[in-house]
Chains A and B, each alone.
Chain A
């Protein structure tokens, strides 16, 4: 089984709808991240969480919210989806120790289309 899983893998929704993307991990890592990938722009950080009680905004958090329900689960919500949020979304984890040098482990991605 994959260490970092994301659901759904693909989603098509309409403008104005609320949508939640879910991420689960079995690596036992404290740190979890949500990134967005757009063609030609690389990956940009939306939110990150260093533990259940610590959630931080990333570079492009506007229009998104997150919930860290447990060490293993980190959800990303779009309260009112808009077409320019059409992108590939990745969840990642890291153990945060100095010896790991912040190496991150990625889920397979969720392709979101907002019509």
Chain B
């Protein structure tokens, strides 16, 4: 079945540090991949997405590339800010499965100044 595995947190960084949050997936079809972000006390917001192999999603300085050969969709940012502190979820959608998004367990990022 489909599944998403992302690195466990918490991840603690200083401001302006480089961020990587690893995400790998298992899917039977050709999924679309997403990163969602949850700021404290809020619901989930779409951060970026990629819908086919080799696509790169980007938003707010974050990037992730859909790597079919390694079944990965790692999230990166070159210089994090305190305001990036949040929980990040990797998710996939498999149109052939006809169901909702499948989420990883989430990675908490804490950035200090």
Contacts and interface: CB of A to CB of B under 8 A. Distances in A.
A102 B42 contact: no
A102 to B, nearest CB: 4
B106 A42 contact: yes
A74 interface: no
Interface residues of A, number: 24
B34 A103 contact: yes
A49 B58 CA distance: 30
A107 B38 CA distance: 11
A68 to B, nearest CB: 15
Contact of A43 (B32, B89, B95, B99): B89
Contacts, number: 56
A45 interface: yes
Interface string B81-113: 000000001000101000111011110000000
| Chief secondary structure at chain A's binding surface | strand
Given A42-B89, A42-B106, A43-B89, A102 B44 contact: no
B99 A45 contact: yes
Interface in B5-35: 32, 34
Interface of B: 32, 34, 36, 42-46, 49, 51, 89, 93, 95, 99-101, 103-106
14 contacts: A33-B100, A40-B106, A42-B103, A43-B106, A44-B103, A45-B99, A58-B100, A90-B44, A92-B44, A101-B32, A101-B95, A103-B46, A103-B93, A106-B45
Given A92-B100, A104-B100, 11 more contacts: A33-B100, A35-B100, A43-B101, A43-B103, A44-B103, A101-B51, A101-B93, A102-B100, A106-B43, A106-B44, A109-B43
